[in-house]
Structure 1
Amino acid sequence: MPRTVSELMTPHPTVVEVTDTLHAVAQTMATQDVGSLVVAEGGAVVGIVTDRDLVVRGLAEGIGLDAPVGQLASEELVTVGPDDDLAEVVRLMREKAVRRVPVVEGDQAVGILSLGDLAQALDPDSALADISAAAPDE
């Protein structure tokens, strides 16, 4: 059974800069078929942005496609390290009510860990594990 974040994380997450436009970020999500991206400033992780952020905090609020993603990125960022204990990370995600966390070394993103990753490893018979393991819709 996995014990540390590095055993479950998705390595090499896509990182966008705070100055990248919402349009460019949405295109990156679509091209890579991902629902979240790590946001950095000068390479240092400062936030995360999700497809839901783009819709609910961007589009629904009338923020234009040329606005910088830094305007929507999470303000209270929760990060973990690759050697962090999974049980502690689960507790932290539950306490902070987050579905995914960037994995950082220093201030650089080295991975991302999601609830789906945890479900597949720790509760493989759950509905969330099944959904997370399924091939993306085409």
Structure 2
Amino acid sequence: MYSPSPAERFFEDFHQRRPGTTSAAFAHLRSDRHESSYAALAATLLPSSSPLTVLDLACGNGYLLKLLDELRPGRLHLIGVDMSQTELDVARSKLPNDVRLLKERAQALSITTASVDVVVSHLALMLMDDIER
């Protein structure tokens, strides 16, 4: 059976006590070219006339998912993964019902191989244990 690492336990505790902290800290920080680091990441999605499936690893409170949904309404199938149920609960309260939210670790996804077109992650990969996985 899986046992969370000390870092994972820290992040689970932190996000349970302070959901939405990451988006509150970064959503308003502008650059010369983008409204925020979230907007910069969203801009990396290639324009496409066909629907895309986008996976947001460590989606937190769903800020990036909501931005993607607003930028390309009806053209993205969105999936968010986070290990914090508290963050996912906040995300669910503000996202459309068709956005799929999963309480999972990025290192052990239940998503079918090759079922996603694009993977995004805002400031999370650097914090994950066992990043090769």
State the TM bucket, normalised to the shorter chain.
0.3 to 0.5
Higher strand content, 1 or 2: 1
Q: TM-score, normalised by structure 2?
A: 0.32
